[in-house]
Amino acid sequence: MIDGNLPTDGLKSNESKATRWTILPADVGQAALTEMSARFSWMLSNGAVTRVGNFSVDDIDRAIVNLLRANGRTTNQQIADQLGLTAATVSTRIRRMEDARQLRVVAVSDFSAHGYNVLLEVAIEVEGRPASEVAEELAKLPEVFAAHLVTGRYDIDMLVALHDFSELSEFMMTKLAGIRGIRSLVPAIAIDVVKYHFDVAPIDVPVGK
């Protein structure tokens, strides 16, 4: 029989009932399996668990991700202490999310710390060549840190980082001009960065939370 509401990969026995469960033996009967299925369906419908494709994210997963977002160097033990879990549980859940490609812990460089003081967004219209080929060539330029194929009037949208405005002329007139297929482009200079979290995807939050 399942004890509690959320499956959690082996929580401590003294944790809250809402996050405690009991592992069933391999020869569990059909009635118990049916109950497990019914309970999990209830959790999905009531927002305790969010399904992303074939992968399910629950409140504990979200809490782990939030702590890693705040500090990517947080250890499994530190996360476990804050959430009332075991370090083994945290490690298992992180590995499960990584294997499902729902989580990736990376180092993000600060532009200004590396001397990049000019950020550009460039919209590009392509002609006479597949936009995907042009985008791949643009992506090879060291100044380009993001390139997207988009809908609408323009075919490609890219983000560019330069050290200062003295590099702008060479980048626009030499590097971009040397790429075949660019019909027109419209650069826009960023005057302020309000939010820069392009490497972080939001995790679905249950309705009502």
Q: What pLDDT score was predicted for residue 57?
A: 76
Helix (H) or strand (E) holding 90, with range, is helix 87-99
Q: What pLDDT score was predicted for residue 20?
A: 38
Two tokens, residue 141:
């330029």
pTM of this prediction exceeds 0.75: no
Q: Considering only CA atoms, which of 177, 129, 124, 126 is closest in space to residue 146?
A: 124
Distances (CA, A) of 4 to 7, 55, 93, 105: 8, 21, 18, 31
Structural domain spans, the chain: 17-99, 112-189
CATH of domain 112-189: 3.30.70.920
**Residue pair 8/19 in contact by the 8 Å Cβ criterion:** yes
10-residue block means of pLDDT along the chain (209 residues)?
39 39 46 55 49 68 85 88 92 86 69 79 95 95 93 94 91 92 92 71 53
